[in-house]
Structures are given as C-alpha cells and as structure tokens.
Amino acid sequence: MALTFTTELTDRPTSPERLAEILAAPGFGKVFTDHMVSVSWSVESGWQDARITPYGPLLVDPATHIFHYGQSIFEGFKAYAQPDGSIATFRPEANAKRFQESARRPAST
C-alpha cells in the first residue's frame, strides 16, 4: 500500500537567488530545506500519517521514551527533487551505516 502525503507549504520559501547560492556551495548540516517530512509507524497499522510540513522545531512530549530510558535512535535521511521530476537521495549507504552503528549501542548496554 502506497503512502499518501498531506502537504502544507511554507509561507516563506527560499528565494531563487538564495537557492542558487546554496546549490553553488552546499554545506552538510548547515543548510536545510524549506520543508520536512514526518511519517508515523505502529505495529497495528504500519506506516501512516505521512506529512510534508514547513521546516520547524520538533514538538516532543516530556514523557517521550528517550528521555526516560535513552533507547532511541534519531537519524535524518536526505532526499532531493531533481529537475526531471525524479528523487535523488543523499548518501543512503552512509545513512544506513550510521543507523546500524547507533542501533548497536543500545543493544550492547
């Protein structure tokens, strides 16, 4: 089953001039997109509630599991729209390796 994304566009998109500057000298971890993606997952329903929203702070409940037990992994995965309409990912193998390394740490404690 394919995910259906709801989309909320930013009211402050990056200007074409600034975008050209960014693309001329991208900075890993220094330049971010106008939007972010979030998708929920549960054992009962699988992947669901896919959303594209304006870039902004993450809201985290103080009762979130990571704050109490530290057994969570957060890893970003970058994907970029291409001029031909396709999507290109940024170093997915490196992302997977970082995720695997992070997963080993909680498993070994």
At 45-103, the pLDDT tens digits run 888 999 999 999 988 888 877 776 666 777 777 778 788 988 888 888 888 888 888 88
Looking at the fold, whether 45 and 22 belong to one and the same domain comes out as yes
Separation of first and last alpha carbons in the chain: 36
Q: How many domains does the chain have?
A: 2
Residues 76, 54 share a domain: no
Closest CA to 55 of 87, 32, 73, 72: 32
Q: What is the pTM of this model?
A: 0.57
* Local confidence band at 1 (pLDDT 50, 70, 90 cut-offs): low
Are 106 and 82 within one domain? yes
- Considering the domain architecture, whether residues 66 and 101 belong to the same structural domain is answered as yes
Question: 35-42 and 79-81: which strand pairing?
Answer: unpaired
Specify whether 31 is located in the same domain as 45: yes
Q: Do 10 and 36 belong together in one domain? A: yes
Range of the domain at 85: 60-109
- Please name the helix (run of DSSP H) or strand (run of DSSP E) that holds residue 60, with its range, or none: none
In this structure, the answer to whether residues 54 and 66 fall within a common structural domain is no
Whether residue 36 sits in one domain with residue 67: no
φ/ψ (deg, to 5) at 16? -55, -35
pLDDT tens sequence across 21-50: 998 988 777 888 899 999 988 889 888 999
